[in-house]
């Protein structure tokens, strides 16, 4: 089912916050929903992560049902799955969702399908699993593998995050969008996995939850929390020739005004930078 012109290759942001939703009067311009983005390429819809932004995407898809979509998870921390039980297409007959994710590294022999039903949906939602009427098809990903969705190529690499996470490079017709969240930089070197994914990317979406000052704050250090800074994102973008750098996974305590100030600084440091906000659409072509 084609949802957009086949020549389109864009990313649309539906949730840009990290950790916990942050609604309120000081977050209306950038939005308070947690991680979820949609990539449209080759007439296909690819959805990355299922934070609360996924609910908003589901509402916009309702008039288009039945739909076909491909879902990909970076990991299963709460802010990346909490929108799944409220994603309308899951509960409507005729929809087909291809769900991809890394097999959870919890010392259990559990496939993605089992994990999805037991941990993502059932225990976190009052809606019985029997109410799911969409056709859900699951694919376990071994982190580091490369695979295709039609003519779209997806490459994966492990990220430096507590309990693990997976970054994605999505390539189509010589262009690429890279999604790297949640990840923490190393103090003395670049992360080779991140460099590999980001090399020459048209759009590089990066976990920039903190500023350097917050990250290194001696009174409340964020070192070891599994996230990075916009300054580190700029370093990577310059190192590997990224065209556009998307500052993403905003701290829930960062207000619109604070993010405006960061946006000015990032733009001064890297001309192709932009601040991710809900509803923003950026083209890779």
Are 67 and 93 contacting, i.e. CB atoms less than 8 angstroms apart?
A: no
User: What CA–CA distance (Å, rounded) separates 35 from 19?
Assistant: 9
How much is the pLDDT for 3?
A: 45
User: What CA–CA distance (Å, rounded) separates 142 from 281?
Assistant: 30
Are 206 and 245 contacting, i.e. CB atoms less than 8 angstroms apart?
A: yes
Digitized pLDDT (tens) for each residue of the chain, 285 residues in all = 444 457 899 999 999 999 999 999 999 999 999 999 999 999 999 999 999 999 999 999 999 999 999 999 999 999 999 999 999 999 999 999 999 998 765 555 568 888 888 777 767 677 777 889 999 999 999 999 999 999 999 999 999 998 889 999 999 999 999 999 999 999 999 999 999 999 999 999 999 999 999 999 888 889 888 899 999 999 999 999 999 999 999 999 999 999 999 999 999 999 999 999 999 999 999
Which H helix or E strand runs over 59?
A: helix 53-61
- Cβ–Cβ contacts within 10 Å for residue 153, how many? 14
Phi-psi region at 89: left, alpha or beta (left = phi > 0; alpha = psi -120 to 50):
alpha
User: What CA–CA distance (Å, rounded) separates 55 from 134?
Assistant: 16
Bridge partners of 139, per DSSP, are: 100
Q: What are phi and psi of 95, to 5 degrees?
A: -80, 145
CATH (one of 3.40.50.720, 3.40.50.360, 3.40.50.1360, 3.60.15.10) for 9-283: 3.60.15.10
- Both structure tokens of 12: 């649309």
Residues shown for the chain: 285
How much is the pLDDT for 4?
A: 47
Are 19 and 5 contacting, i.e. CB atoms less than 8 angstroms apart?
A: no
Q: Residues 6 or more apart from 125 whose CB is under 8 A from it?
A: 85, 86
Pick from 226, 225, 230: nearest CA to 213? 230
How much is the pLDDT for 129?
A: 77
Q: Residues 6 or more apart from 192 whose CB is under 8 A from it?
A: none
pTM over 0.75: yes
């Amino acid at each position: 089912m084609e949802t957009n012109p086949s020549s389109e290759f864009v990313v649309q942001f539906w949730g840009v916050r990290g950790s916990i939703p942050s609604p309120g009067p000081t977050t209306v311009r950038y939005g308070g929903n947690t991680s979820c983005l949609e990539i449209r390429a080759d007439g296909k819809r690819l959805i990355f992560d299922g934070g609360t932004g996924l609910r908003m995407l589901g509402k916009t898809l309702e008039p288009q049902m039945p739909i076909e979509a491909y879902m990909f998870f970076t990991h299963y921390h709460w802010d990346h799955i909490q929108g799944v039980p409220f994603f309308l297409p899951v509960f409507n007959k005729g929809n087909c969702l291809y769900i991809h994710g890394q097999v959870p590294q919890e010392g259990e022999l559990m496939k993605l399908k089992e994990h999805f039903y037991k941990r993502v949906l059932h225990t976190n939602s009052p809606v019985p699993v029997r109410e799911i009427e969409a056709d859900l098809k699951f694919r376990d990903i071994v982190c580091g593998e490369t695979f295709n969705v039609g003519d779209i190529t997806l490459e994966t690499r492990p990220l430096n995050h507590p309990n693990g996470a997976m970054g994605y490079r999505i390539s189509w017709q010589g262009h690429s969008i890279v999604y790297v969240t949640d990840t923490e930089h190393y103090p003395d070197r670049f992360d080779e996995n991140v460099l590999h994914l980001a090399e020459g990317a048209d759009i590089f979406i990066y976990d920039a939850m903190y500023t350097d000052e917050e990250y290194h704050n001696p009174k409340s250090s964020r070192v070891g929390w599994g996230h990075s800074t916009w300054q580190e994102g700029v370093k990577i973008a310059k190192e590997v020739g990224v065209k556009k750098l998307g500052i993403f996974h905003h701290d829930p305590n960062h207000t619109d005004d604070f993010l405006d100030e960061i946006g000015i600084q990032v733009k001064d440091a890297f001309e192709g930078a932009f601040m991710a906000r809900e509803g923003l659409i950026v083209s890779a072509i």
